[in-house]
Amino acid sequence: MVMRDTESKPLFVEILYMLGLIVAAVAAAFIQFIGRHYEGDYSSFLFGGSVYRYNHISYVIGLVLFLLAIILTYIFLYRKKLDGAGDILKKRRGLYIFITILFSILMFAALFMVCFLMMGISVQMKPEWMLNATVFVWPSAVLVFMILTGILSGRKSE
């Protein structure tokens, strides 16, 4: 089964949208590390390092910028491209979900690399749930959001 040009356009738009979200997530994660506070050092048998605490204002600014990037680009760019593509997404739902999962994994990898580059092996960030939320929850939330928008846009045409 060969995809026609009109069938590949919504999938190409989704790829561009997900790439834009990866860039926005990486930029927001970098913003979250601005102004981190040094708390002290730790040492163990194998490792020693430093402990830092997030600046809560920077963390919230990064989170809000990422959420705004998702919402505003969806409202002003992505939704307009999906309006006429409900039938195509219904036919190609498996490919749509595969692309969404692939780019969510790429977002996870990019966020993991940002955190590794900013912290290294020996630096710990406190509270740890903030770091885990950035690295694990953001890609998962984008995955769920994209799958729901694809399913809902496919139902609009019924």
CA torsion sign for 96, 97, 98, 104 is positive
- State how far the Cα of 133 lies from the Cα of 140, in Å rounded to an integer: 10
Domain ranges within the chain, ordered by starting residue = 5-156
In the predicted structure, residue 48 carries a pLDDT above the cut 70 = yes
In the predicted structure, residue 80 carries a pLDDT above the cut 60 = yes
Q: Confidence band (pLDDT; 50, 70, 90) for 79?
A: confident
Paired with 41 in beta bridges are 50
Average pLDDT of the chain, as a whole number: 84
Residues sharing a CB contact under 8 Å with residue 148, sequence separation 6 or more, in sequence order = none
Q: Where is 144: in which H helix or E strand? A: helix 138-156
- State how far the Cα of 52 lies from the Cα of 62, in Å rounded to an integer: 17
In the predicted structure, residue 117 carries a pLDDT above the cut 70 = yes
Coil/strand/helix, residue 50? strand
Q: Where is 42: in which H helix or E strand? A: strand 37-43
- The pLDDT of residue 95: 82
Between 99-103, 140-144, 149-153, the lowest mean confidence (pLDDT) is in: 149-153
